[in-house]
Amino acid sequence: MEGSDDEIELVPLTDGQAEQFARIEQLWPEFGNSLQVLAASDGGGMGWRTVDGVEYLTRYTQENSKKKGRSLGRRSPETEAIMEQFESTVLKARRIRREYREDVLLSCKLAKAYGIARLHGRFAETLDWLWYTDANKRVALFGGSALLAYESGSKTLTPVELIKEDRLRFIAHSEDPEKIGLEEIAEACGDGEEEMRVTLDNGVFAIRADEKVVAEIYRPSYFLGRLERSARKTLKQGFEMPWLRALTFSRDTRPIELCVPEPRVYAMAAYCLRDKDEIWDRRAQFAVRMVEECWPDKFDQHQEAVMDDLPDHGRMRLREP
């Protein structure tokens, strides 16, 4: 594959940048899991309470700033199992969050100092919400923000002009709007006060806050319908590959887990949109070069043919959507 006359330079991560990615990746499996466990719990505590010489398992919660207790039954193998489960999940998660919090915060602050905390705070809120609810199993982040997910694995810094965008973009796992969960994703894109609407604009689901588009969701068919047969088959196989989960840092110094297409798939999908805006051509070029020079898994011959500019292959033809 030949590059354009205006090739995008690959800038390696500095030692300090790479160190912060490595550090947060070391902390995140336990710390991130603790956050999800605690978010799913209803707070409060649990313990044994003795009444007239009999131990009862009691669930404690706060209501209107007052401590409330609810008995779960006498001490027995069943209630002991409940208590053990609580200790191994909620109490363990609280301990991990408490022990790791300062290290995570320090890594995020250093990431900002080193210039790799670049995810827009508003986008981070939405993506964090999708991660907490597991909705990111249904949609993968696309667009400029998705390129941040490849920085640690490729050890390269994405050019800032490729990241800039005014909305989040996603690729859905399913063609079925109900399986995508459009209403839930629209809710995540709002601030709780705006009225969110979902419309279908030229084959793309647009999520609107009032009249402003804040996110777009592409179904796989949007890309596949623009390709000739052999390229369509290759990209379809790419969409069936497992999505990549990777970490980045938000501008407001938080670790954010991103779910994105594998970078070879990103490159092919971005290439499909190159006639819509020059930025997609440049994003595709960057992803291609990043994979070729810095990613462990390279393009196979079929994937290369999707984007090949060599004279004896010719540029892949696009169909109108």
In terms of DSSP bridges, do strands 117-119 and 212-218 run parallel, antiparallel, or are they unpaired? unpaired
Q: Summarize pLDDT for 186-216 with one digit per residue, the tens.
A: 999 987 777 899 999 889 999 999 889 999 9
pLDDT over 90 (residue 159): yes
Give the per-residue pLDDT at 28: 97
The pLDDT-based confidence of 256 (bands split at 50, 70, 90) is: very high
Spell out the residues 6+ positions from residue 202 whose beta carbon is closer than 8 angstroms to its own.
321
Half-sphere exposure of 197 (CA within 13 A, CB side): 9
Position 25: which residue type? E
Q: How much is the average pLDDT of 120-143? A: 94
pLDDT band for position 262 (cuts 50, 70, 90): very high
The tokens 């705006």 sit on which residue?
194
Distance, CA of 247 to CA of 111 (rounded, Å): 12
Q: Is the pLDDT reported for residue 3 higher than 50? A: no
| Residue 275 confidence (pLDDT) | 83
Biggest CA–CA distance in the chain, Å, is 89
Q: ∠ at Cα 9 (8, 15), nearest 5°?
A: 140
Q: Give the number of other CB atoms < 10 A from CB of residue 136.
A: 23
Nearest to 252 by CA among 115, 132, 112: 112
> In the prediction, which pLDDT does 44 show?
84
The CA R_g of the chain, rounded to the nearest whole Å, is 24
Under a CB-based contact definition with an 8 Å cutoff, are residues 143 and 282 in contact?
no
pLDDT at 316 over 50: no
Alpha helices in 114-228 (DSSP H): 121-132, 143-146, 151-154, 160-163, 177-180, 182-189, 220-224
Residue 64's region, left for phi above 0, alpha for psi from -120 to 50, else beta, is: left
Mean pLDDT over 96-106 rounds to 97
Tell me the pLDDT tens digit for each residue of 42-77: 788 888 988 888 898 988 887 777 788 888 899 999
- Count Cβ atoms below 10 Å from residue 294 Cβ, excluding itself: 16
Nearest in space to 270 (alpha carbons), one of 138, 123, 141: 141
Bridge partners (DSSP) of residue 169 are 142, 216
What pLDDT sits at residue 8?
76
- State which amino acid sits at residue 7: E
Specify whether the CB–CB gap between 86 and 46 falls below 8 A.
Answer: yes
> Does pLDDT of 146 surpass 90?
yes
Residue 49: how many CB atoms within 10 A of its CB?
A: 12
What is the signed CA dihedral for 164, 269, 183, 33, rounded to 10 degrees?
-80
Give me the pLDDT at residue 61, please: 82
The larger pLDDT score, comparing residue 40 to residue 97, is at 97
State the pLDDT confidence band at 4, using cuts at 50, 70 and 90: very low
pLDDT at 320: 43
DSSP string, 263-320: HHHHHHHHHHTTTT-HHHHHHHHHHHHHHHHH-SSPP-HHHHHHH---TTT-PPPB--
Q: Scanning the structure block, which residue is given the tokens 């805006």? A: 277
Q: What is the mean pLDDT of residues 262-286?
A: 93
Looking at residues 174-186, what average pLDDT do you find?
A: 93
- Return the amino acid letter for 59: R
Residue the block writes with tokens 């508003």: 122
Q: What is the mean pLDDT of residues 273-285?
A: 90
The predicted pLDDT at position 6 comes to 61
Residue % of the chain over a pLDDT of 90: 72
